[in-house]
Structure 1
C-alpha cells in the first residue's frame, strides 16, 4: 500500500463524516439523509482504479467492502445494496456502498444526479454515527 502523500480529495472531505480507518481504507459516511451511504477510500496515493492496487490491496478492499455491505444490509434491512466506483467527478479511488429501498426517492434508478443532497440534521447525524459505530469499529486482527 502506498500511503505516502495520501490526501483525501477535498470534495469527499467536504461531503462526508469520517467513521473509522480500516487497514486499507478510510470509512466515510456520506452526509445525505436520503440513503444510508458509506464510502471506502483506500489510502493509496495516486490510485484512480481498482486494478491499479496491488493484488494484496485488491483483496483487502474486497474484504472490507464485503464486510461493510453485509453489515449495512443487516443494520438497515435494505432491499438492495448498490456498490460502485464511478470516479467521473472525484478521480480518487473510492467505493460507494448505498443501501436502497423500494420506494426511496430514486428507486429503481441510480442515485447520482437525480436529487440534490439533503444533509443530516445534527440530531440525525448523531443517530447515524451511533448506529454505525459497531460496524466502523471492527477489529481487524
Structure 2
C-alpha cells in the first residue's frame, strides 16, 4: 500500500477540489456550496476501510481529521460537525467532515442523497479554498 500507487477515485476527483496535501491524506473540498464539506483521502492504494490502515496510520488519519475539522469550523462556524466514512458508492477510503447548521438544506437528516449539489461559483470557491488553506497553515 504505497503512496506511489495511489490514484484518487474518479468520482472524488470530479466532485471535489484540492485543498491541501497533508502528511497522510489528500484534503478536498466537496463542490456543494450548500454545506461546508471536506473529504480526507489517505494516499495509500487499496484502502477501503479505516481498519485497512495500520494503527499508526489510523492515529494519523484522526489527527488530520481533527486538524481539518478545526480549520473548517474556523471558516464556517457550525452547530454540529458530522464525520463519516461510508464508502457505499465510492469504495476508496475517504472520510467526510461536514459542517452543519440547524435549518440547512438537509437538517436534521444526512447530507448524502439530499437533493442535487449546488456547485460553488468561481469567486466563492476561490475564497473558501484560500480561507481553508490559511486556517490549516495557522
TM range (shorter): over 0.9
CA distance in 1, matches of 2:24, 2:126: 25
Q: Which runs of 5+ in 1 are unaligned?
A: none
CA distance in 2, matches of 1:49, 1:91: 8
Q: Which runs of 5+ in 2 are unaligned?
A: none
Moved more, 80-89 or 62-71: 62-71
CA distance in 1, matches of 2:136, 2:11: 21
How many residues in Structure 1 have an aligned counterpart in Structure 2? 138
Could you say what the CA RMSD is over the residues aligned between the two structures, in angstroms?
Answer: 1.2
CA distance in 1, matches of 2:63, 2:75: 18
1:20, 1:137 within 8 Å by CA — same for their partners in 2? no
CA distance in 1, matches of 2:28, 2:136: 9
Partner of 2:87: 87
Correspondence 1:69-108 to 2 at 5 A: 69-108=69-108
How high is the TM-score relative to the length of structure 1? 0.93
Task: After TM superposition, give the deviation of residue 47 of structure 1 in Å.
Answer: 0.4
Partner of 1:45: 45
Give the SS at the match of 2:70: helix
How high is the TM-score relative to the length of structure 2? 0.95
CA distance in 1, matches of 2:36, 2:95: 14
CA distance in 1, matches of 2:24, 2:110: 27
CA distance in 2, matches of 1:34, 1:19: 18
Matched, 1:61 2:84: no
Task: After TM superposition, give the deviation of residue 61 of structure 1 in Å.
Answer: 0.2
Task: After TM superposition, give the deviation of residue 3 of structure 1 in Å.
Answer: 1.2
Moved more, 5-14 or 119-128: 119-128
Moved more, 21-30 or 73-82: 73-82
1:19, 1:136 within 8 Å by CA — same for their partners in 2? no
